[in-house]
């Protein structure tokens, strides 16, 4: 009985868990280049990017080119800013776009 309650609680907790949204950067130290992006799922964004890059299917040709030239070990992913959880869902896209512009300029990163 308690095992069933624990499973239910775990399911409930998972459904209520908020995923961080925000701005990230991808840097290649070997090339001295950086890219910035925005995501509504920062926790899974790195895995998605690395998967695309490993398979040669990333849409940003320059990023893919640098990845192919220097390899995975030369790259670093970092979340630079996360949005508050209480941001109105209707404002998230605009806020992410605004913050992305700011961080790209601040860090000299390509979008």
Q: What is the CATH number of the domain that holds 23?
A: 3.40.1440.10
Residue 49 pLDDT greater than 90, yes or no: yes
Residue 15 pLDDT greater than 80, yes or no: no
Report how far residue 80's alpha carbon sits from residue 59's, in angstroms, rounded to the nearest whole number. Answer: 22
Q: pLDDT category, 4, cuts 50, 70, 90? A: low
Question: Domain for residue 5, yes or no?
Answer: no
| Nearest residue to 64 (alpha-carbon basis) of 98, 21, 35, 106 | 35
Question: Domain for residue 9, yes or no?
Answer: no
Question: Domain for residue 73, yes or no?
Answer: yes
Question: Domain for residue 8, yes or no?
Answer: no
The number of distinct structural domains making up the chain is 1
| Nearest residue to 20 (alpha-carbon basis) of 96, 72, 91, 73 | 96
Percentage of the residues of the chain whose pLDDT score is greater than 90: 71
What is the domain range of residue 52? Answer: 19-107
């Amino acid at each position: 009985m308690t095992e069933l309650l624990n499973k239910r609680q775990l399911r409930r907790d998972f459904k209520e868990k908020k995923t961080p949204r925000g701005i990230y950067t991808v840097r290649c130290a070997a090339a001295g280049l950086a890219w910035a992006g925005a995501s509504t799922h920062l926790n899974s964004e790195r895995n998605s990017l690395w998967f695309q890059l490993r398979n040669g299917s990333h849409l940003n040709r320059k990023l893919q080119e640098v990845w192919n030239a220097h390899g995975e070990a030369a790259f670093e992913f970092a979340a630079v800013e996360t949005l508050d959880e209480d941001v109105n869902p209707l404002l998230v896209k605009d806020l992410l776009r605004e913050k992305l512009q700011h961080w790209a300029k601040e860090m000299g990163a390509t979008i």
